[in-house]
Amino acid sequence: MTVDEKIGQLIQLNPKFFADVSVDVTGPWESLGIDEGFLKNIGSVLGSRNAEEMLIIQKKHMAEDKNKIPMLFMKDVIHGYRTIYPIPLALGASFDPDLVCECTQMEVKEASAGGVHVTFAPMVDYARDARWGRVMETCGEDPLLNSIMGAVQVKAIQGDDLRDTDHIAGCVKHLAAYGAAEAGRDYNTVEMSERQLREFYLPAYKACIDAGVTMLMPSFNSLNGVPSIANKWIMKTVLKDEWGFEGVVISDSNAVGELKTHGIAADSKAAAELAFKGGCDIEMMTANYYVGLKELIEEGKIDMAQLDAAVERILNLKESLGLFEDPFRDASPEKETAVCLTDEHRAIARRAAEDSTVLLKNDGTLPFSKDVKKIALIGPFAESKKIMGSWACNGRDDECVSIAEGIRNLLPNAEITVVSGCSAELGSTDTSGFDIAVQAAADADAVILCLGELSIYSGEGNSRVDIGLPGVQNELAKICVAANKNTAAVIFNGRPLTLGELDSICPAILDTFFPGSEGGNAIANLMFGVANPSARVPMSFPRAVGQCPVYYNHPSTGRPKRNDFDNYRFKSRYLDCGNLPLYSFGHGLSYSDFRYESMELDKKQFTADEKITVTVTVRNAGERDGKEVVQLYMHDLVASSVRPVQQLIAFEKVEIAAGETKQIVFEITEPMLRFWDADCNYISEAGEFELFVGYADHPYIQDRFELI
């Protein structure tokens, strides 16, 4: 291979450069200045639309490339390819790794048939600030939950053999701490201690690497003064030396070029040198490698062996995908059509939407009786089909089931009135739809308020400083509930919203996040009791945006405010708001009635080479079968550095039939008690630990144990 051909393998462009096809833009583009002759060397394509487009581009390339090296086709397949299931934040709420595995396996079957070779997933950025728009892509505020869900996705994406065309390669992102962008503003700077990084922000990336993920994408943000892509500590010391990652590193879109914008590269050549030496193998959508690498090699600043090593990693990935045997990996428009959006896949998406919708509040209003005759659907989402959320890949709004359609499907004989009542636009003050909404509420047997934030208000580049229900939705809720008490709300959101006013108004609230293609059917099933809510809050819902970031696993202070009634002035508190979130991590209601009867420890003291067996007994005293998320938390009472007041150390989602009692067994081992001390040693320390089962800030049964 010539130097140009080698450098070409290190550049990724979108389909527009290779054929007259349509392109989804996922970021700003510089004018690249790549000459036509060089294009045949390009090694990978960002975001081809479908199998047909991949075939056009790949066939043309294979005809022109003298080395006959197939291109890699990579795409953001985040929560479904064509059959769209709930956003990752909702999947986190499911607390169900098996469900996440099933959804992901379905997704990659469709994506592979659609000509995708690599997906830029899982995204496992740990996030605590609901103002940040990309919390919709994470599984929430707990490192254990994020790690488990990330690893499950890697295994489901890649399978056991990348030659199996039911699987593709994964790319974990965005290393590191993108979710800690200052003030929740996307792309903003991140300053953080190594201890905090290692304790909370790095574990999920490591879990994905340990699960065998083949690619990794650094984050846009600067981390302690150096943008991740050029940050030798995170990209070499941690990623390569400590974690032993040997896969392919790809920049985020435009990120190499943005080293100039960050102000740490004077020009393209400097940007290329920093990124390449930072370990970035593929440059996405900028051409600094095209401009600078050749000169850097001629100047001896980068040696040919380093370039060859990067090319080899990329060629090895292509080889492991079987691309040299079949550059098209058995993808075709016919196969894509046959595989996508089948009834089986829709059923998976529907079950996922049911099991990732959280029942936040219920005074007994839900479930509605299926015998109701007149139902009023009121709110901007009442018949909206824009319910997939951001990163919906090839999903189509018109293939989504709205709430109105879902309820008509379930109750074909009911009289359903649909009134939008108001807009979900930010800043809307239009109340002209209120009168007709109130009338519809008054005339109905049951009212469903369909409220939320538009899907364009979360996702990349979409941070908010006010995370309430946009417009006059709270006002709409107030007058409708006044007109008819038999009212429940369902919320569409890409982040925790400040729902305090709605909570004070509405008897029952379901939060469905963005449920995807089958959202309307799932919500209808939940509203009318065909399905029983089983999801739990994956990320604290603030009472006020001024609390952000508010999260459950916070350290103590010297002056903790013990509860919302502790109003002593000299405490860590706000004058105008409590410290606790409106809905805590792990909160969620059910139509069943789960009673925690006991928590037994087989010993109260153990040494590092022993384990404690914890047996939790839960009874379903209700009349409905249901699923409970049994959550086990610990608190390290005294340690050499301040520890969180509570940490989720294990969870299990279990089905418990009406009247049934089940025992759920957990094991506590010494590694579960380890933490990063002030000197960044990963250690456990002897001492006493509190243990409780329940959910954050809400222990049902408590006990203590000791590591000796």
Residue 285 near residue 253 (C-beta atoms within 8 A): yes
* Cα–Cα distance measured from residue 276 to residue 144, given in angstroms and rounded to the nearest whole number: 32
Q: For residues 110 and 252, which CB has a smaller minimum distance to ligand GLC in the complex?
A: 252
Identify residues 92-151 at the interface with ligand GLC (CB under 6 A): 120
Q: What is the nearest approach in angstroms of ligand GLC to the Cβ of residue 182?
A: 17
Nearest by Cα to 382 from 405, 358, 357: 405
Half-sphere exposure of 139 (CA within 13 A, CB side): 31
Q: Please report, for residues 147, 402, 431, 457, 626, the alpha-carbon distance to residue 518 in angstroms, rounded to integers and kept in the order given.
A: 27, 8, 30, 21, 21
The single residue listed with the structure tokens 């350290």 is 555
**Which residues does 457 contact at the CB level (< 8 Å), separation at least 6?**
133, 426, 464, 470, 494
Q: What is the nearest approach in angstroms of ligand GLC to the Cβ of residue 76?
A: 5
User: Following DSSP, what letter does each residue of 407-441 receive, concatenated?
Assistant: HHHH-TTSEEEEE--S--STT----TTHHHHHHHH
Q: For residues 389 and 520, which CB has a smaller minimum distance to ligand GLC in the complex?
A: 389
Q: What is the nearest approach in angstroms of ligand GLC to the Cβ of residue 15?
A: 13
Beta strand pairing status for 358-362 and 44-46? unpaired
Q: For residues 88 and 322, which CB has a smaller minimum distance to ligand GLC in the complex?
A: 88
Binding string, residues 209-248; x marks residues near ligand GLC by CB under 6 A: ----------------------------------------
* Cα–Cα distance measured from residue 321 to residue 300, given in angstroms and rounded to the nearest whole number: 33
Q: What is the nearest approach in angstroms of ligand GLC to the Cβ of residue 232?
A: 22
The single residue listed with the structure tokens 């925690």 is 596
Q: What is the nearest approach in angstroms of ligand GLC to the Cβ of residue 459?
A: 10
The answer to whether residue 460 forms part of the interface with ligand GLC (CB under 6 A) is yes
Q: What is the nearest approach in angstroms of ligand GLC to the Cβ of residue 460?
A: 5
Q: For residues 286 and 631, which CB has a smaller minimum distance to ligand GLC in the complex?
A: 286
Q: What is the nearest approach in angstroms of ligand GLC to the Cβ of residue 3?
A: 27
* Cα–Cα distance measured from residue 707 to residue 606, given in angstroms and rounded to the nearest whole number: 5
Q: Which two tokens stand for residue 184?
A: 């929740």
Identify residues 533-572 at the interface with ligand GLC (CB under 6 A): none
* Cα–Cα distance measured from residue 259 to residue 434, given in angstroms and rounded to the nearest whole number: 50
Q: For residues 173 and 294, which CB has a smaller minimum distance to ligand GLC in the complex?
A: 173
**Which residues does 380 contact at the CB level (< 8 Å), separation at least 6?**
420, 421, 422, 423, 424, 450, 451, 452, 471, 473
By CB under 6 A, name the one of 6, 12, 18, 76 that touches ligand GLC.
Answer: 76
Q: Which two tokens stand for residue 644?
A: 């969180």
Give the sheet arrangement for strand 611-620, strand by strand.
594-601, 611-620, 661-669
By CB under 6 A, name the one of 155, 173, 345, 346 that touches ligand GLC.
Answer: 173
Q: Is 152 helix (H, G, I), strand (E, B) or coil?
A: helix
Q: For residues 216 and 441, which CB has a smaller minimum distance to ligand GLC in the complex?
A: 216
Q: Please report, for residues 40, 65, 76, 330, 636, the alpha-carbon distance to residue 62 in angstroms, rounded to integers and kept in the order given.
A: 9, 5, 24, 16, 59
Q: What is the nearest approach in angstroms of ligand GLC to the Cβ of residue 489?
A: 32
Nearest by Cα to 235 from 225, 154, 245: 245
Q: For residues 16 and 554, which CB has a smaller minimum distance to ligand GLC in the complex?
A: 16
Q: Which two tokens stand for residue 36?
A: 């036509």
What residue type is assigned to position 94 of the chain? Answer: S
Q: For residues 120 and 594, which CB has a smaller minimum distance to ligand GLC in the complex?
A: 120
Identify residues 250-279 at the interface with ligand GLC (CB under 6 A): 252-253
Active-site pick, 76, 125, 252, 636: 252
Known active-site residue 252: yes
The answer to whether residue 381 forms part of the interface with ligand GLC (CB under 6 A) is no
Q: What is the nearest approach in angstroms of ligand GLC to the Cβ of residue 119?
A: 9
Identify residues 8-27 at the interface with ligand GLC (CB under 6 A): 26-27
How many CB atoms sit inside 10 A of residue 309's CB? 11
Q: For residues 29 and 38, which CB has a smaller minimum distance to ligand GLC in the complex?
A: 29
- Count of residues touching ligand GLC (by CB under 6 A): 8
* Cα–Cα distance measured from residue 388 to residue 333, given in angstroms and rounded to the nearest whole number: 23
Q: For residues 165 and 254, which CB has a smaller minimum distance to ligand GLC in the complex?
A: 254
Q: What is the nearest approach in angstroms of ligand GLC to the Cβ of residue 284?
A: 6
* Cα–Cα distance measured from residue 73 to residue 61, given in angstroms and rounded to the nearest whole number: 12
Active site members: 252
Tell me which residues touch ligand GLC (CB under 6 A). Answer: 26-27, 76, 120, 173, 252-253, 460
